[in-house]
Amino acid sequence: MRPDTPADHSAEAERLLRTAERYPEDKEPLLLRAAAHLELAGARERASALYDRLLTDSPEHPLLIKALQAANLWEYGHEAEARALIAGVRAAAPADAAPWEIVAETLESHDELEDSHDCFTAALELLLPAGENDVPYSIQSLLTGRHRVRRLLGLPHDDRDALADRVHTGDISLDELHDPKRLWALGSDNPAELQAEIARLRSELGSYRSALSRPFPVTVLHWPEPEFRELLTACPELQTEYPTYEAHLTDIEASLRELAATGTRNLGIVRGTVPSYEAFAASEQSTPANPALLPQYATTLAARGHATPWPPSKGAPCWCGSGTAYRDCHGDG
């Protein structure tokens, strides 16, 4: 069950802090999740201290942490410090979508609509070149956010808005969801207007519930070739699961495409190592030869922040590690 009250969020934050002590190699993603729960619990000063702790510890994703810290600080009255952090993140031009999105939405939530629009636009110019229609999952929310802010500013549709409409999968169009006049409908005496707004809110709530129910990607386990060989040497019983390395790679792509075809979003790949898998099996009081552990191991790696989003863009290196562009490797066909 997901936490729903401040006390639940506080308890989950403490659990994550303990887990971070147990898995120091995964400290950063675990502490980031703990900080998010502290914010939801109203403990914003503790969350801020946790972000500061992460920033002093040579983090892997410093711009993401700074963006989250800025959003948190602004919410409890430290606007000047938040603005300075936001300016630094924007100047650094992150190569990942998440810091851009957090900064842009922070500006939007504080009615800095022009700056928010510029931030969304700059992110898309960097991460999704003009004319590119292959939109990774992580970038779709940038398109949606920019569409929303442009509607609030009263700007006409452009090519990016059309692309946002194309990748949107909801029952209600983005134009309707992002209509600035929606707030007026909440005070209307017209039953038809109220019913239409209820339908829109239900659509949004369904999307939010879907995202919250899957805080990390649905993942498939990939063993790089040296690990694959070591695994089967140590556990020959898994030969039925992994008859050949080529079949293993083919099965990964096929499984992910099948999940995507059924409408599953936020997909990813986690890479296994034999030592961590053996440690995981020991923690589960089982043997690494138990095939039932494999999906549990994949989920655990995803929860600890090790997932790589799938699919990569067509021109990016293939997830398999071949060094070949995805379009010419497992993305072919």
pLDDT in tens, 5-39: 788 889 989 988 998 888 888 888 889 989 988 99
pLDDT at 266 over 60: yes
Q: Which of 223, 247, 246, 249 is nearest to 235 (CA)?
A: 223
Omega cis (within 30) before 311: yes
Confidence band of 211 (pLDDT split at 50, 70, 90): very low
CA dihedral 95, 97, 101, 102 (to 10 degrees): -70
- The pTM score is 0.67
Q: Please give the distance of CA 124 from its chain centroid, rounded to a whole number.
A: 17
Which pLDDT value is given to residue 69?
96
Confidence band of 51 (pLDDT split at 50, 70, 90): very high
Cα–Cα distance, 305 to 299 (Å, whole number): 10
Cβ atoms of 107 and 116 closer than 8 Å: yes
For residue 256, how many other CB atoms are within 10 A of its CB?
A: 21
Name the DSSP class of 270. E
Dig out the tokens for 28 from the structure: 């950063």
- Order of strands across the sheet with 308-310? 218-222, 267-271, 308-310
CATH architecture of 6-168: Alpha Horseshoe (1.25)
For residue 295, how many other CB atoms are within 10 A of its CB?
A: 12
pLDDT at 326 over 80: yes
Cβ atoms of 249 and 321 closer than 8 Å: no
Cα–Cα distance, 268 to 311 (Å, whole number): 8
β-bridge pairing 308-310 and 267-271? antiparallel
Name the average pLDDT for the chain. Answer: 86
Cα–Cα distance, 79 to 12 (Å, whole number): 28
Which amino acid belongs to residue 133? N
Dig out the tokens for 96 from the structure: 């990942």
